[in-house]
Each structure stands twice: as structure tokens, then as C-alpha cells.
Amino acid sequence: MDKRTKEPKRIGVVGAGSWGTALANLLAIKGYTIDLWAYETEVKQDILEHRENKLFLPGVTLSDRIVPSNDLETVVKNNEIILIVVPSHTMRSVAEQMASHISKETIIITASKGIEDGTYLTMFGVLEQSLPTLDSDNLVVLSGPSFAKEVADKVPTAISIASKNIEVATHVQHIFSTDYFRVYVNDDPIGLELGGAVKNIIAIAAGFVDGMELGLNTRAAVITRGLAEIRRLGMKMGANPHTFSGLSGVGDLILTCTGDLSRNYTVGKELGQGKTIAEIQAKRRTVAEGVRNTKSVYNLAKKLGIDLPIINEVYKALYEGSTPEKAVKRLMTRPLGHETSELF
């Protein structure tokens, strides 16, 4: 058996937000011992004392197999499989701290969604740069329509796993799969990541629609044309266009654009109701990923010379003082065009 694909007894999870905690608990319930790195001391103490992450995943009893720690080195060096679930803007700094504690054969799985500002790299690309000794065949992306609370409650869920090495992807597929968490394999990491990152921006636009009470027709138009923009960007960056018809594309897009559990959608909804982004962020402990990634994707599209009208309007609303009302007006009065030719 390839050393990379032997059955692990312990798995390290870096990041104890809602998604990291939910995935850690899923793996622990399957029987793995989980070393869980939490940035916040209070999260570690709550898990140790109450078996609950009261800050990020309240109301969920966590397995005794989860061993919380605030020591990143301990979590990383003890494990040959590491799942990273940190905010995209912290990925590089966390990965650089991990670099000296992993081997070439370590399998690194990213479940974080985002594009790094400035470099315009997906998390896969950030990890390739930050972990230079790692074999890139051992980098895996996990993405798909999955609210953390629902996974923690064992609601039937389907997601995708992608790697350049399909054998490694299949190995990770079997590690994560349960009777309520179905995992499909894919060989298009960039497609999975772009679907997961850019849909957050479209979800903000869908929130505009519902905040303004414009109706279901409008929301359907935003989701459909938003998918065209994701696909357009993805094809320019070398992704497989079929990936965007799958779970990490249209699946995640529909979920994030229609669910009140989506932070990105709720940010957009409050903007549509007339609140400012400063007012919205002031009452939140964490920033919705789509807010940061709007700037990254907007600048990336300019660099690549492609037109992303909905994303442009979200950028204007978040960073240039425009409004959702103006966004809708501009989008509806753009020059008329051919639907399918605009996908490419």
C-alpha cells in the first residue's frame, strides 16, 4: 500500500470555526482521533470542559475523540493527514507556520473557500507556495453545498473532493464518507475552488434581491447569470467547465444564494434593506468570506480582461458606495446579448 494512502488513526484539523469543528466531529464519530487546532483559547477550553464549541458551533455535542489544542505545531507534526479550515485571508500565514512540521508525503486537505488578495491564488495555490517541500499531488480540495450546522446535525449532504492525483482523492473520499455525508471525487481542484469562492459573491447579490423584496424571478436570474460568470472565470483559469454543473458549482451556488444560514446571503440581504456594510460588519465577529473575495475576484477579472457584471456591481456596493438599487438598474439596462455565447 502507498504510504500516502494507508488508513490513518489520527487526523489533524487546523481551524475550529463552525466548518472545521463540524468536519472534525464527523471524522471523530467515524472513529478517528482528531487533533483540533483552535486559535481562540476559549474554544479549546469549552471543548475540553463542555464538549461544545459554544463560540462557533453552539448546541452540538462534540465527540470525546476530539483533542483540542492551541499549539499548531503539536497538531501538525503528529499527523500524516491535515485538514485546513481557516479563513482564506489567514491561510498563507498559518501554512507558513506549518511548513517545517510536515513531510513530503503529508496529505493536506483544504476546506477553505477564497481567493487571496494580491496574488489572486486559490487556497490550493497558496498552499503550493507556502509548503514548498510538499508533493502537490498530496493537496486535496473539499467543497460543495454544506452548511456546517446541518452536517453537524447529520443532515444528508453531498460534496466533492478534488486532487491532481485521483488515488489520493479516492483515499480521502473514503475517509470522509458516511451514511449522511456522501463524497464524490473529481480531478479539477481549480474548478472546485473557484465554484466555492466566487459563489459567495453571487450570494451577496442574491441577498440584495431578497432584501429589496424583488421576487423569485429576479433571484433566479441572479443565480443563473452568476453561474455564467463563475464559469467564464473558471474557463479562463483552466478549469473544466463541467465542474460548474456539479456540487461545488451550481450545487453550492443554489445553497448559498437561498439559505438564511449563509453569512454572505444575509450580508447582501441587509444591504438590500438599506444598511451599510460598516453597520453590518460592526455587529459580526467574523467577516463573510464573500466580502473580502469580492475585491480579489474583481481585480482578478480586470487582470484577465473578462467581464463579470454581477460581481462588478457587488464590488461597487461594497467598496464604492453604490447601492443595490443602482446595481439592479445597471444590470437590467446593459447592452442586449446572446445567452450562450456570453458563457465563454
Going from the N-terminus, what domains does the chain have, and what CATH number goes with each? Answer: 3-187 (3.40.50.720), 196-343 (1.10.1040.10)
Query: What is the predicted pLDDT for the residue at 344?
Result: 46
Query: What is the predicted pLDDT for the residue at 1?
Result: 44
- 158: DSSP letter: E
Distance, CA of 237 to CA of 306 (rounded, Å)? 11
Average pLDDT across each block of 10 residues of the chain; the chain has 344 residues. List them in order. Answer: 70 98 98 97 98 97 98 94 96 97 94 95 97 95 97 98 97 98 97 96 97 96 97 96 96 94 95 94 82 95 96 97 96 91 54
Residue of 89, 66, 64, 50 whose CA lies nearest to 16? 66
Instruction: Please spell the DSSP secondary structure of 260-298, one letter per residue.
Output: TT-HHHHHHHHHHTT--HHHHHHT-SS--HHHHHHHHHH
User: What contacts 316, CB < 8 A, 6 or more positions away?
Assistant: 322, 326, 327
- 115: DSSP letter: B
Decide if 107 contacts 4 (C-beta within 8 A): yes
User: Which of 199, 269, 275, 303 is labelled catalytic?
Assistant: 199
Query: What is the predicted pLDDT for the residue at 10?
Result: 94
Which residue bears the cell 475550529? 16
Q: Is 329 a catalytic residue?
A: no
Distance, CA of 263 to CA of 206 (rounded, Å)? 12
Query: What is the predicted pLDDT for the residue at 192?
Result: 97
Query: What is the predicted pLDDT for the residue at 171?
Result: 97
